[in-house]
Structure 1
Amino acid sequence: MLEDSLREMFAAQVDTPPVADDPAGTVIRRGRVARRRRAMGSLVAVGAALVLVTAGAASLGGGWPPDRRSGPAAGFGVDSLADVTVGPVEPPTPGRDTGIGLDIRSGDQLWTTDGRRLTLTGVGEVTRIYRVPGGWVYAGAREVRFLRPDGSSVTLSGEDDRWAVSSDGDQLAFQLDTTLHVARIGPAGLALMDSVEVPANTWPVAIAADRVVVSGGSRGYGFVDLARQAQQPARNAAVTTIYGVRGDGLVGLVREEGGSRRCLARIVPTGGKLQPAQSGGCGLGLRAEATEGGLAPDGRWLAERRGAEVALIDVDRVLDGETALVTCPAASDVPPVWADDRTVVTGNDAHVVRCRTDGTEEAVPLPEGVPEDWQLVPRLTAPADGQ
């Protein structure tokens, strides 16, 4: 051994036992320290690699359908999907039911329906937020996060603002450069389900079963069939608005054939394109802003803010040729949002107004501490059976 040889060499040069300042011992000790440091460095590297692999498997496992791949999306790795809490988190104090039926947001502050107050951190100015099963999905200009009920949050996507959440709040479609990703949302982050190449000038607006509906601006809307990834979306310029998903199709607006008006329509994927299967209500003067009210959770009613009132439109009856419209007097700067299948909520600086499709309305006071610039938070849930 090297150590024995060194000792024999030094022992041959002296007649007395090694003194406290033993040259051989010094060399040997230095060698042992160096080996221990190298061994410790190797263990740390192996441990770090194991943690990353384990974290990735835990947060990204469980693809859907089973034969599709799971893994981190392009543009961000396992670290950005890890459990990250921004700022101190204090357990929210339980409050009482506000009677509004929806959460309220003002700036980065969130008032929940049960009276709690949470902070939306990590994205700068909040631009969008949805209540989903198990928490909230919210975003700034270039980051999407998932907020848990305890106030902690985790990054979902961090490089682009082109994204959409499914109507049941379970999936996220987001586009990075020319790659469209679909992932399942969970408290630990994203479980990537599929990725497909799309044109750069598109962005996702809705998720319907195995299809992601994409917008191309003035070029209209198309869809990406995840089961046929080689097929590029064929956009239909006659489709001008998508309000939401209903059953195996969509509800939106299409250009009147031979005219200039917009007509309410049930839209289905046919022959690789989105096509109106039924249309009507061309004279209702519906506007193209899908965010101004939108579709009820079951797809039966459509809400549209019109000056000092909110119009509630029965989609089925309008498509059958009738004029079925209920108005709710509610002058407000707050866009209406559906609380359930038959109740839409809006309001003004002083109070909240709940309008029902039977024509009745109810005023509810704002929770204490909510400033004037408040907005309602849409709730995304799975539809009831049979809808």
Structure 2
Amino acid sequence: MSQDELERAVRETFSRQVATPRAPHDPASAVLRRAARVQRRRAVAGMSLAASAIVLVSAGAMQLGDDRPPPGADTVVIADPYPAPDRFRTSLPPPGPSTETPLAEVDLLVNRTIATAQGRRVTLIGIGAVERVHRLTDGRGWLAVGEPSLSGRSLWAVAADGTSRALLAGADEIVLDRSGRQVAWKQDRVLAAAGIVDGELTGTVRADAPATAVPLRFVDDAVLVRLDPALPGHVLWPLRPGPLDEGTDRTSQRIFGALPDGRLVGEVPAEPTEDTCLTLLDPAGLRPPDPPACGPTIEGDGLGAVSPDGRWLLVNGRVGEQDRALLVDLTRLDPTVPARTAGPAMTGTVSWSQPDVAHYADATGALVRVDVERVRAGRSAIRVTVPGLHDDQSLVVVTGG
């Protein structure tokens, strides 16, 4: 081959290589292609596992189909369908230092933030409007009861960092015991109760009850139920399944709480007058003594709370033409011993932080501190200024602790 022929052959070879398009070497594209292949393989494996899980769940649902709650109970959602990590199983102290100035001797919910009595600020996360908050005795957080709505009330377990877990939704009413370890609720004709362990409900018990029945509070290991808010009469439900035993009480007008020995502080008709008699009721049948040991006439809206030692009742009542908070000495239930005016009328929850000190919010949203010795000396309760609280913000006094 001559020199000219060799040169022509080389030129033709280069020309064909240039004319043929070739993708340049791209390391990133190669990695993406390999990742796509891996992802496709994992997707196929995941679909197989999901199909197996659906079969197992379906089989389990068929086996549990005979153990259904009473009609209406399925409208109450128990536990969060998307549970958060186990924030309630730790024994570590709450995160964050107590560096803020405490607003009061009790925890307060101001707008969406809990201001603790130790000087912490905890913003509630992932919950709706709250009407009541109860501090857990172990210091791990709070239980929050939602405001009533068209869909009912909700209950959340709030961890020490403010994150929450839904425990109940759609209930007509929700009540908690003093320690925050038990909850009772009512929905339609179903009355239910459960324990609260590590932020979860356990050991649920259900009973059939009248549609008008309303749980009011725990009394030891029973739940006080008003059979009809429009009529007198209460019953203690001993957390027993089956139809609710409605008892024989059809006279008790209102019940404000219980003494350490189990007797209930309530009102019954005072014959022969049309007044009511503040007295102590036997928990067996909710019967008053005969004759009843009557205390002063209250004539309030029924809001009240008994001190932890059972000595005092702080209750809304009438003084002349005004609604006021009254302090009653339960060791001296006699019509000749008048109730003492303690302060403005109460709204919301009442917290007895000590046997002789209580806090509540009045109609203006201000915090009121009731010192028993101060009231006994003839002086009114103190209105506590809450820094940073605006007129359009809500104030909830936290109970428990």
TM-score (norm 2): 0.66
Shift of 1:76: 2.5
Q: Distance in 2 between matches of 1:363 and 1:78?
A: 41
Q: Which residue of 1 aligns with 2:223?
A: 212
Find the counterpart in structure 2 of residue 241 from structure 1.
254
Q: 2:84 corresponds to which letter in structure 1?
A: D
1:170 corresponds in structure 2 to 181
For the structure 1 residues 308 and 248, does the alpha-carbon distance in structure 2 shift closer, same or farther, using more than 3 Å as the test? closer
Residues 337 and 290 (structure 1 numbering): CA distance in 2 closer, same or farther, change over 3 Å?
Answer: farther
SS of alignment partner, residue 359 of structure 1 = helix
- Structure 1's unaligned 5+ residue stretches are 1-32, 52-68, 382-387
Q: Is the 8 Å Cα contact of residues 257 and 265 (structure 2) preserved in structure 1?
A: yes
Q: Which residue of 2 aligns with 1:297?
A: 308
Indicate conservation of the 8 Å contact 2:205/2:241, yes or no: no
Q: Percent identity?
A: 23
Q: Distance in 2 between matches of 1:269 and 1:214?
A: 12
Mean alpha-carbon deviation: is it higher for 34-43 or for 214-223?
34-43
Give the match for residue 83 of structure 2.
Answer: 82
What pairs up with 1:141-290 in 2 under 5 angstroms?
141=148, 142=152, 143-215=154-226, 216-219=228-231, 220-227=233-240, 229-234=242-247, 236-246=249-259, 247-270=261-284, 273-277=285-289, 279-282=292-295, 284-290=296-302
- Give the 3 Å change call, closer, same or farther, for CA 116–322 of structure 1 in structure 2: same
Give the C-alpha shift of residue 106 in structure 1.
3.2
User: What is the CA distance between 1:129 and its match in structure 2?
Assistant: 2.4
Change (3 A) 1:180 1:190: same
Secondary structure, in 3 states, of the residue corresponding to 2:389?
coil
**1:153-178: CA deviation from partner (whole Å, max 9, x where unpaired):** 11121011312111332210012222
Indicate how the Cα distance of structure 1 residues 99 and 41 shifts in structure 2: closer, same or farther if over 3 A, else same: closer
**Residue 107 (structure 1) aligns with:** 111
Q: Which secondary structure does the structure 2 equivalent of 1:242 belong to? A: strand
CA distance in 2, matches of 1:166, 1:81: 26
Tell me which residue corresponds to 2:388.
369
Q: Would you say how many aligned residue pairs link Structure 1 and Structure 2?
A: 319
**Equivalent residue for 1:117?**
121
One of 108, 128, 135 as aligned partner of 1:131? 135
Give the letter for the 1:266 counterpart.
L
- CA RMSD across the alignment: 3.8
Distance between the aligned counterparts of 1:249 and 1:341, measured in 2?
Answer: 18
Cross-structure match for 1:318: 333
Q: Shift in Å at residue 322 of structure 1?
A: 5.6
- Contact residue 81 and residue 190 of structure 1 kept, 8 A: no
Structure 2 runs not aligned, ≥5 long:
1-38, 58-68, 87-93
Q: Distance in 2 between matches of 1:347 and 1:214?
A: 26
Find the structure with the greater CA-based Rg. 2
Tell me, yes or no, if the aligned pair for 2:316 and 2:346 is still in contact at 8 Å.
no
1:211 to 1:38, Cα distance in 2 relative to 1, 3 A: same
Task: Note closer, same or farther for the CA distance 1:77–1:301 as it changes in structure 2 (3 Å cut).
Answer: closer
Q: CA deviation at 1:305?
A: 4.3
Q: Helix, strand or coil for the counterpart of 2:171?
A: coil
Q: Secondary structure at the match of 2:282?
A: strand
Tell me, what secondary structure is at the counterpart of 2:179? coil
Q: Is the CA contact (8 Å cut-off) linking 1:342 and 1:356 kept in structure 2?
A: yes
**TM-score relative to the length of structure 1:** 0.69
Partner of 1:25: none
Deviation, structure 1 residue 316 = 1.8
